[in-house]
Amino acid sequence: MLSHFNPAWWMRNRHVQTIIPRFFRPFHHTRYQLALLDTPDGDFLELAWSLPKNDLAPLAIVLHGLEGNINSFYAKGMMKALKKQGYQVVLMHFRNCSTQANKLPRAYHSGETGDLDFFVKHLKQQFPNRAMVAVGFSLGGNVLAKYVGEQGDDCLLDGAAIVSAPYDLSPSCQVIRKSLGKIYQKYLLDRMKKSMRRKLPQIKQQIDLTPEQLMKIDDLWQFDNKLTAPLHGFDGAEDYYQQASAKPYLKHIATPTLVVHAKDDPMLSIKAVPSRQDVSEHVTLRISEKGGHVGFISGNNPFKPIYWLEQIVPEYFNQLVNKEQL
């Protein structure tokens, strides 16, 4: 029976749950090896494989959040926790989140599932007899939720876990634009602009934007309207939000899926919180009153915080993998 989340007494504030965990682990390491996988369209995906390699272990894919990467605290923590439970873990960097800029103009966005589909099929072809699960955080969670919904009965994953996903992008964008005096928006935009700046020479035929104009963008909706949407074939930001949101796909999920979400998430709209009526019978909901955004820190000792996500996700996957192997 999966546990429910109880926040640490010293971390009941949603902003504290969201911000502080990244400072708990400044020297948190897990051994990994970077590898490039060529994509069918002539580009590449950068993968981070946990070490040491284990050719017999079940596979676990980790999907990071907006402008995340292998150095994101939640990604390294989950990789380490899953590896400890006997999984061979691989983090898939979304395009333009890797150590080098991708070759093609396109980057990544909240609803882009093509690369994940290609990667899952690649792994299944390479390791046909190994169980395979995936966990996605925030934007990566929306991608994973949309993907398993799109795939339905044809999904090759044996299980999925989705943490703090936006699900409904338009109202969540509005929350980020205002939350905590726009601090979250500035943090994300600074990273997005830095990442996109290195791609400006590649996208100049699609989008005429100078580095100075890019750096002057100070609004998330404006960034998506000027860059994300036109770069990926959407008719503006709102069209992108509607088409990329995972919420309409939740009812079509046929893969055992764990959804972890906090109602007090300061970066997402309360409208994004999925209810029992929004999801299929294959979805297990763990909706808590508190937890922040990809926080979920519990425990009684401030010097020994408990990373609840790193307990519940491996526990959920173990139940599925053990059942699969019976």
Paired sense of beta strands 59-63 and 32-38, if any: unpaired
Q: From the candidates 110, 138, 170, 172, give the one annotated as an active-site residue.
A: 138
Distance CA 240, CA 176 (A): 17
Place of tokens 């020994």: 304
Q: How far apart are CA 186 and CA 218, in angstroms?
A: 7
How many Å apart are CA 124 and CA 132, to the nearest integer?
Answer: 8
Query: Among residues 131, 129, 28, which one has the least CA distance to residue 81?
Result: 28
Place of tokens 């994940």: 116
Alpha-carbon Rg for the chain, nearest whole angstrom, is 19
Coil, strand or helix at 89 = strand
Q: Which of 64, 109, 293, 298 is catalytic?
A: 293
265 a catalytic residue: yes
Identify the active-site residue in 115, 224, 265, 269. Answer: 265
Q: Concatenate the DSSP letters of all residues of 23-64 into one string.
A: HH-TT----EEEEEEE-TTS-EEEEEEESS--TTSPEEEEE-
Strands 44-50 and 132-137, by their bridges, are unpaired
> Helical H runs in 226-297?
229-231, 237-244
Residue numbers annotated as active site: 138, 265, 293
